Amino acid sequence: MSDLLLDNEQARKLIKTLGLPLPVPERLRRAKGPYEERPLEGKVVLVGGHAALRDTLAASLAKMGAESIVFGDEDDAKPFRRAGEAWGRPVRVVAPGEAPEGVKVDAMVYDATGVRGPDDLKGLYEFFMPYMRRLNKGGRCVVIGRPAALAGTHSEAAAAAGLEGFTRSLGKEVGEGGSTGNSVFVEKGAEARLDATLRFLLSPRSAFVTCQPFHISNDAKGSDAPTTQPLEGKVVLLTGAARGIGESTARIMAGEGAHVVCLDLPRDDEPLSKVARSIGGSVLLADITDPDAPELICKELNERFSGVDIVVHNAGITRDKLLANMKPQLWDMAVDVNLGAVIRITEKLVANGVLNDGGRVICLSSVSGIAGNRGQTNYSASKAGIVGFVESLAPQLAARGVTVNAIAPGFIETRLTSAMPVGIREGARRLSALGQGGHPEDVGQAITFLSTPGAVGITGSVLRVCGGALVGA
């Protein structure tokens, strides 16, 4: 990233003189290379809370290579000791209220599935507070609960909802150190699907994902998921693949074993072909708004690959104008590219049987679609429409094991944002809990995660990759 504040020492001095914040840390710790069997090798994880997920957490953390510190007593520690012995991982125990001198942690995971009312929320304070200043830079905080909508009492529902408010605020407090805070809500019976989400949230792959709730359900059918090369043998259709987020996503997904069919406009043949060649993918030239595009795409995928496993609708445009000054063609272009084409292509892939069972559909929305934005009525309408589309389609495809989700990026450092006036650009960066913009690879990592077999429990959801921006819900 070329960043005025990061690359220009005089600008840095001026910003400090004016009393404006610099990003801290200036560069987030991001993943390098493909998925690992033990992403937490050598990392210290503090874990505590209720007993419901104790065995699940113990097994997952041990397999990921973590050194667990159990917040509780010896009874609480038993599953962790068993898992630690099986995987050769050390386990320590600290009593509530204790924070031994010199102990630092890389992550904190709290099982709040047992909260029954407001009084139980005090457990969050007792667990996190002593270790807030002991969380290493780039640390991870995760709170696991049950969905409020499925609670048995009003009090239980209120407490469950309180978990999300806590973690959103926690994420904003730890953001200065490049750390994140997220919540995960697991339906009863879906506990086995927690592992993949924890692997994502506790690793550098989620560097720009913070203050977000994740919902894990039993809606879609699924099988055991590999922890490395999770996309091996999968065919991916990726629109808008020639540059930016599309290019980054193509490289990450190919690195996890996928064959990526890179789609973009005919005029982008040269950069698109360059991307496809570099990852061993294929090229598909098409204008997605062309009335014949859905049939063309179906034919190509059927004849060349016998179908498609993952569809990523990344192509999008902005045609910004205040509504009072907006020409009808600007409205039509934004809505058709960002929403209309997505619906037509997806519906054709489903109707023609081109989307394989166990497939994944991921659509790019935007925080502007959640919060709205001045001068973007057309863009915001189309990106909000994406949210409605995935929420409507997801239950229809669940019986086939297909998940449908949206990604809503915040301020991402691309060639488009680099053209913004400096003041607007710097302001947008500072609106995030992490004090900076994201990278295209941050969105690519989130797309890749939702594409994996392990993410089968997440469907009909919108994942914001925004660094905990102070925009929208």
| Residues assigned a catalytic role | 379
Query: Where are any strands of DSSP class E within 55-134?
Result: 67-71, 91-94, 105-111
Query: Residue 105 CB: number of other CB atoms within 10 A?
Result: 20
d(CA 447, CA 248): 10
Could you tell me if 236 and 249 are in contact, meaning their C-beta atoms sit under 8 angstroms apart?
no
d(C-alpha 171, C-alpha 363), whole Å: 25
Q: Residues with Cβ < 8 Å from 18, sequence gap 6 or more?
A: none
**Tokens 């086995």 -> residue:** 192
Structure tokens at 34: 């493909």
Exposure class string for 41-59: b at 16+ Cβ within 10 A, else e: eebbbbbbbbebbbebbbb
Cβ neighbours of residue 198 under 8 Å, at least 6 residues apart? 60, 61, 64, 109, 142, 184
Burial 298-308 (b: 16+ CB within 10 A, else e): bebbeeebebb
Angle 184-188-189 from CA coordinates, rounded to 5° = 110
Q: Which residue, 116, 112, 111, is CA-closest to 56?
A: 111
